[in-house]
Structure 1
Amino acid sequence: MKIIAIIFLGGGLGSVARFLVNRWLTDRVTSVLPYGTFLVNVTGCFLIGFLVFYLGKFGDQALNWRLFLVTGICGGYTTFSSFSFENVQLVSDHQLFTMLLYTLGSIVLGFLATYMGILLARTI
């Protein structure tokens, strides 16, 4: 139960951070491009890369910090960071085909699922 609480707290803080960063940039930049989401995704990718590598130096001693910061905060801030890190891992493990399949599948099926959700909502 402690692990769930750690992730829950981090996820909530990450979600609030995403909202604040997105709103801060959106209030300052007028564009058709979603710069707020773009900034969140890029900074989240940097953050997860730094945290996973840095906390990895401490092994199991940093497990609670990894759950709080990586799974919780980064996960609440942007799942794109997890997606990006997983792809980097696949490339590092020489799993290029799997990485390409995962990336293309996630993008294509993600767009398709979003569109199907919209179509379903329109019928209700």
Structure 2
Amino acid sequence: MYQLLAIAAGGAVGAVLRFLMSNGVYRVTGNDFPYGTLVINIFGSFVLGMLFVLLLEKLVVSAEWRLGLTVGLIGAFTTFSTFSVETLLLIEEGQLLKAALNIVLSVALCLFAAWLGMSLGRQL
């Protein structure tokens, strides 16, 4: 029961942070490309990579904290489903280059960010 509450609490915070960060990015970049989702997923991949190492290899924390931070907070913060819909909308609008760019950037940069986070976590 405590694990579910930890996930729910982390998820609530992660969803609000995603909304705020996404809107902030779109205020700066505009809406012609899904920059908000891209930035969130890269940043979330980095943080999850770092948390994964810290929470499993470096620190002794309860399962509730691990689940609340990873499944709840980062799970609600990152948004693969939004990436998918935004990419499909670009395809439907005939913006195939932007759709392809979003796919390549999202996969490559999120993998790099997760690796960077894990590497940093191992050095701490």
TM over 0.5: same fold?
yes
Q: Aligned partners of 1:4 and 1:31: how far apart in 2? A: 35
Amino acid at match of 1:11: G
Q: Equivalent residues in 2 for 1:81-92 (5 A)?
A: none
Asked which structure has the greater CA Rg, the reply is 1
Whole-angstrom distance in 2 between the partners of 1:52 and 1:9: 19
Task: Indicate if the aligned counterparts of 2:3 and 2:63 stay in contact, CA closer than 8 A.
Answer: no
Distance in 1, Cα, partners of 2:58 & 2:13: 24
Rounded to whole Å, the distance in 2 between the matches of 1:79 and 1:4 is 20
| 2:37–2:79 contact (8 Å) kept in structure 1 | no
Greater RCO, 1 or 2 (C-alpha within 8 Å, sep 6+): 2
CA RMSD in angstroms comes to 2.4
Map residues 43-58 of structure 1 onto 2, 5 A cutoff.
43-58=43-58
Q: Quick one: distance in 2 between partners of 1:31 and 1:4?
A: 35
Q: Does the CA contact (< 8 Å) of 1:21 and 1:40 recur in 2?
A: yes
* Identity among equivalent pairs (%): 34
Q: CA deviation at 1:31?
A: 4.7
CA distance in 1, matches of 2:31, 2:65: 37
| Gap change, CA 1:79 and 1:22, over 3 Å in 2 | closer
Q: Distance in 2 between matches of 1:5 and 1:65?
A: 10
Unaligned runs of 5+ in 1: 81-106, 116-124
Amino acid at match of 1:77: F
> Is the contact between residue 14 and residue 77 of structure 1 (CA under 8 Å) also seen in structure 2?
yes
Q: Provide, for residues 19-76 of structure 1, a one-character-per-residue CA deviation record: whole Å limited to 9, x for no partner.
A: 0000001111125111111100000000110000111125774322211110110011
Give the 5 Å matches for 1:1-124.
Answer: 1-58=1-58, 61-80=61-80
How many pairs were matched up? 84
Segments of 4+ in structure 1 off by > 4 A? none
